[in-house]
């Protein structure tokens, strides 16, 4: 596959067949391209298919349909070539905690056939990077959650991969530890030219860390782009309006208004609708919007003006809010 993209995914589908004969479509046709040296975040709620996608890209699972390649090597037919070029840290901590940090890193290097001198040099380098040098000879069982995550990160890097896959790298960490992990991740890209593909539920993580974000929901990549571009496409401000009545007529009016950039309509919990109206200047357009609603026969229950965020991008494309954590 001639391509400048280090990750190429085409029409990827994954079905899980459950014992009862039920089939779960975890991935429903994903296309994804990631350039060398990019930090790409897959953002999506529980069950969206993020871990499934990562498992296929890291050769742990076979796709049902479609293809995926890392550095030009197909994950299904050339898994050994793929494994030689990747590192991975999983969502759950999988360290053998009976071992010391140093033993864990060394064992991983051995697994990949790295010579002893190289392993020792790499361990020293990585322990310094993730700030574990002082505790490296203690059993991992005694590490804090943040230390275990950092050790996982170091392990993923033992074999100097071209692509590092991180499944929820900062799940369950306090803000200080998260910021630390983010710093290492950026440093790795800047200093080693590593490509990083990570998954997250956290909009903050996606926004601060990623060059590009892909929003995943129900097994599909719904929208992708630079966080700032995705946000900007919604308009300068968002007027969020809940109400009932003729929302279709109101929508039609809105789409004709010159100051409206974009409108998304979602069904609200109760009867009624929630409208996300992207405008050039929120405060200034509030009065004319209320007037339009009235004229169209749409009764406003509540209204607010806000600067758009990645959360609004998520709402615009999926119809529901992603809880940040």
Ligand X SMILES: Nc1ncnc2c1ncn2[C@@H]1O[C@H](COP(=O)(O)OP(=O)(O)OP(=O)(O)O)[C@@H](O)[C@H]1O
Residue 202 binds which entry of Mg ion, ligand X, none, CB below 5-8 Å type-dependent: none
Helices 145-157, 116-129: crossing angle, 10 deg rounding: 140
Half-sphere exposure of 162 (CA within 13 A, CB side): 15
- From the CB of 41, what's the least distance to ligand X, in Å? 13
| 273-279 sheet: strands from edge to edge | 260-267, 273-279, 237-245, 298-306
Buried b vs exposed e over 33-67: b needs ≥16 C-beta within 10 Å? Answer: bbeeebbbbbbbbeebbbbbbbbbbbbebebbebb
Q: Give the nearest distance from C-beta 98 to ligand X in angstroms.
A: 27
* Minimum separation from the CB atom of position 33 to ligand X (A): 20
Nearer to ligand X, 42 or 275 (CB): 42
Q: Which residues contact 70 (CB under 8 A, 6 or more apart)?
A: 6, 7, 57, 82, 85, 86, 163
The nearer residue to Mg ion, 18 or 80, going by C-beta atoms, is 18
Nearest-approach distance from CB 26 to ligand X, in angstroms: 3
By CB under 5 A, which span of 17-25, 50-58, 107-115, 312-320 interacts with Mg ion?
50-58
Rounded to a whole number of angstroms, the minimum distance from the CB of residue 303 to ligand X is 32
Q: Residue 242's binding partner, choosing from ligand X, Mg ion, none, with beta-carbon cut-off 5 to 8 A by kind?
A: none
Distance (Å, whole) CA 161 – CA 165: 10
Q: How many residues bind Mg ion (CB under 5 A)?
A: 2
Of the pair 49, 146, the CB lying nearest Mg ion is at 49
Query: Which of Mg ion, ligand X, none has residue 161 at its interface (CB below 5 to 8 Å by kind)?
Result: none
Of 44-52, 69-77, 110-118, 245-253, the window that binds Mg ion (rule: CB under 5 A) is 44-52
136/198 with CB nearer ligand X: 198
C-alpha span between 133 and 114 (Å, rounded): 21
Q: What is the C-alpha separation between 213 and 199, in angstroms, rounded?
A: 10
- For residue 178, the partner it binds in Mg ion, ligand X, none, with Cβ less than 5 to 8 A by kind, is none
Rounded to the nearest whole angstrom, what is the least distance from the CB of residue 48 to Mg ion in the complex?
A: 8
Sheet harboring 195-200: ordered strands across? Answer: 86-89, 163-167, 195-200, 39-43, 212-217, 220-225
Residue among 246, 302, 296, 239 at smallest CA distance from 269: 302
Nearer to ligand X, 123 or 215 (CB): 215
Distance between CA 17 and CA 169 in Å, rounded? 28
Residues in 51-70 that interact with Mg ion by CB under 5 A: 51
| Chain contacts with ligand X (rule: CB under 6 A) | 16, 24, 26, 44, 46-52, 91, 201
Residue closest to Mg ion, measured at CB: 51
Task: Kindly state the smallest distance separating residue 312's Cβ from Mg ion, in Å.
Answer: 24
Least spacing, CB of residue 199 vs Mg ion, in Å: 6
Instruction: Give the strand order in the sheet containing 65-70.
Output: 23-35, 5-17, 65-70, 73-74
Contact positions with Mg ion (CB under 5 A) in 86-115: none
Task: Using alpha carbons, select from 145, 151, 153 the residue that is nearest to residue 132.
Answer: 151
Residue 51 or 276 having the CB closest to Mg ion: 51
Spatial distance between the Cα atoms of 27 and 47, rounded to a whole number of angstroms? 10
* Site of interaction with Mg ion (CB under 5 A): 50-51
């Amino acid at each position: 596959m001639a391509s400048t993209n280090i990750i190429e995914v085409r029409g990827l589908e994954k079905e899980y067949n459950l014992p009862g004969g039920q089939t779960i479509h975890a991935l429903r046709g994903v296309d994804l391209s990631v350039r060398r040296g990019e930090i790409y975040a897959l953002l999506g709620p529980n069950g969206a298919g993020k871990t499934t996608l990562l498992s296929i890209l890291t050769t742990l699972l076979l796709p049902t349909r479609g293809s995926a390649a890392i550095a030009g090597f197909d994950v299904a037919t050339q898994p050994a070539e793929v494994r030689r070029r990747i590192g991975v840290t999983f969502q759950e901590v999988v360290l053998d905690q009976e071992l010391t940090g140093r033993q864990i890193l060394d064992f991983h290097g051995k697994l990949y056939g790295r010579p002893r001198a190289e392993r020792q040099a790499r361990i020293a380098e990585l322990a310094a990077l993730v700030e574990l040098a002082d505790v490296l000879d203690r059993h991992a069982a005694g590490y804090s959650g943040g230390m275990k995550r950092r050790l996982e990160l170091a392990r993923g890097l033992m074999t100097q991969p071209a692509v590092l896959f991180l499944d929820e790298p900062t799940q369950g960490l306090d803000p200080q530890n998260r910021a630390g992990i983010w710093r290492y991740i950026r440093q790795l890209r800047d200093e080693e030219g590593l490509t990083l593909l990570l998954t997250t539920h956290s909009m903050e993580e996606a926004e601060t860390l990623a060059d590009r974000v892909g929003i995943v929901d129900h097994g599909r990549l719904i929208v992708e782009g630079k966080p700032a571009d995705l946000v900007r496409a919604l308009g300068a401000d968002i007027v969020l309006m809940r109400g009932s009545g003729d929302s279709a007529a109101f929508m039609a009016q809105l789409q004709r208004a010159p100051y409206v950039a974009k409108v998304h309509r979602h069904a609200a919990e109760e009867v009624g609708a929630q409208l996300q109206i992207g405008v050039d200047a929120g405060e200034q357009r509030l009065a004319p919007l209320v007037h339009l609603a009235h004229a169209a026969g749409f009764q406003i229950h509540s209204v607010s003006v806000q600067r758009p965020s990645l959360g609004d991008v998520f709402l615009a494309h999926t119809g529901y809010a992603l809880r940040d954590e």
